[in-house]
Chains A and B, each alone.
Chain A
Amino acid sequence: MMKVGLVCPYSVDVPGGVQFHVRDLAEKLIEFGDQVQVLAPADEDTEVPDYVTSTGRAVPVRYNGSVARLSFGPVVAARTQRWLEAGDFDVVHIHEPLPPSVGLIALHLAEAPVVATFHSAQTRSRALQAAYPLVRPGLERIRARIAVSEDARSTVVDHVGGDAVIIPNGVYTARFARARATQEWIGTPQRPTIAFLGRLDEPRKGLQVLAAAVGRILQDVPGARFLIAGRGDATQARADLGRYGESVEFLGPLEERDKASLLSSVDLYIAPQTGGESFGIVLVEAISAGALVVASDLPAFRRVLDGDRGGYLFRTGDAQHLAEVVRTALSDPEGARTRREYATGIAERYDWNVVAAQVRDVYTMVTEAAQVQTRSALPSMREWFGRKR
């Protein structure tokens, strides 16, 4: 049993990757038997789980070229101090310690060993560089750095120096694995189903790439059905895809459960993203649901799929190549089966059970090291600071 304090710099009122990560990690650690407290900004009238302590409302501020909702000021600092004292933590785990919010405050105030997780890939910002002399001593207090992806890790290497261990974002894979197939989305050899999930009007999600490939795919497999799910303005997509008539169905935005069901029903799931994916969590969700994946060969996707062992890859943005790969995937049951099987093993690696256990290993290492007595290590420094700690 460990007493863990998790710090989240972003408001829990707003959905976001870091917030979900902190919530899921907290709940998994509680399930493991740890005592977990979360400190995060939240509106006064927001219902929060009882393990969350609010630092108050996050304030929109211009920082680093965009408006971010951050939490700072003497009230926040005092609340953070009280939370740290009341929690008496074995380890304080700060998520995204770089943005000037409650994470940075906790970093300076925490007396317990600090672990930090870096989530985003950030470019070296002018603001951060100007503030660096102020931030640096705080960053030196971090005993263990975790990065959730390769890109986040390069951020650490560039900003902080040194290195970070990669522990990916977790996925509750069981939720996807349990999903029931929906009859009308299940394909047949003559009428295979091909799914797209994601915002319809955001070019980075790549619907236009799939749209450009639909015609060619229908030439090869005339019965193919395309199921397009997601939020956003569908005008452009409908204009591009209208001429294929009933071969293309728009499902609109789907609930989490229906998303999982769609993924487990269809013959192929297409991930034509053209960028902006540093982690590829969508692929992990898809393979957890048992989907056979055809994805663009972005570095993040390539890493998740172990090259093309866990799915099929096509050249990012290349509709013609996408059509070719889809034809291969649909006409090669043996290759599809081995990829599906391999993908099951990948999904396990990203399961919260595995991921949270790795995070716990980090906690153990850090707390063990912190207990080592250091008096004899540095004779000269001891003379200077003999009475301190």
Chain B
Amino acid sequence: MSAAEIALLVLAVLALVAVVLWSVAQRLDRLHRREFQTRAALEAQLVRRADIAAEVAASGILDPASAVLVSDAVLSSMRAVRLVGEDDTPQAHADRGLIESELTRTLRTALDETDPAIPARDTAAAEAVERLRHSHYRVQLARRFHNDAVVQIHHIRRLALVRLFRLAGHAPLPRTFEMDDAPV
């Protein structure tokens, strides 16, 4: 093998490595972007849910104690640290999860109608509660899609190749968002 051939071979191998690295980095980039997007979408759904919960609390269809507690939980949610653009530390996100879980639990008790003796609500009120349940469902979806993106990132960042070449750059490792979003 002549020197030229060896050089060519080395070049070919380098090119191959570069292509592989580039494609993995691109996948990683795409996933990180999606993680950000799904987090923003989750944030939007959480705000929407808090909004509708506030509306339900103010509408007079809840008993007074429930109304106060729901309003209070809504306030905490609105004052909490946003999931995008503010404090992106895991602790901040975990705290937000606790606050949103609190809202879920309060709503669950406030809307519990399993006692058959409870009279049926008027249609406008029932419609507001229906919208609340719908937005809660969307929170469930948004959270699921966000956590999926996170899990995929974890999967790819565990690859030796990614760690060796530091393909993730300085991007922080995202965490799944944990909260109680079982149906209310």
Q: Does B31 reach chain A (CB closer than 8 Å)?
A: yes
Could you tell me which B residues sit within 8 Å of A by CB distance? 23, 25-38, 40-41, 44-45, 134, 137-138, 140-142, 144-145, 147-149, 151-152, 155-156, 168-171
- A368 and B39 CA atoms in complex are apart in Å by 11
Q: Which residues of A contact B35 (CB under 8 A)?
A: 377
Q: Which residues of A contact B145 (CB under 8 A)?
A: 143-144, 365-366, 369
Chain B interface main SS type? helix
Q: List 15 A-B contacts (CB under 8 A).
A: A137-B23, A143-B149, A364-B138, A365-B141, A369-B38, A369-B142, A372-B36, A372-B40, A372-B41, A374-B33, A378-B36, A380-B168, A381-B169, A384-B169, A385-B26
Q: Which residues of A contact B44 (CB under 8 A)?
A: 368
Most buried by B among A143, A144, A358, A381: A381
- A164 and B37 CA atoms in complex are apart in Å by 18
Contact partner of B141 among A140, A362, A381, CB < 8 A?
A362
Given the known A-B contacts A368-B44, A369-B38, are A378 and B169 also in contact in the complex, defined by CB atoms under 8 Å?
yes
Could you tell me which A residues sit within 8 Å of B by CB distance? 137, 140-141, 143-145, 161-165, 358, 361-362, 364-366, 368-370, 372, 374, 377-381, 383-385, 388
- A327 and B169 CA atoms in complex are apart in Å by 69
- A356 and B148 CA atoms in complex are apart in Å by 22
Per CB-CB distance, the 9 closest pairs between chain A and chain B, nearest first, are A380-B169, A369-B41, A377-B36, A374-B33, A162-B148, A162-B151, A372-B37, A369-B37, A372-B40
Contact partner of B152 among A140, A364, A377, CB < 8 A?
A140
Q: Which residues of A contact B33 (CB under 8 A)?
A: 374, 377-378
- A162 and B144 CA atoms in complex are apart in Å by 9
Given the known A-B contacts A145-B148, A366-B145, are A379 and B170 also in contact in the complex, defined by CB atoms under 8 Å?
yes
Chain A nearest CB from B88 CB (Å) reads 10
Q: Which residues of A contact B171 (CB under 8 A)?
A: 378, 380-381
Contact partner of B148 among A137, A163, A368, CB < 8 A?
A163
Closest partner residue, chain B, to A370 (CB atom): B37
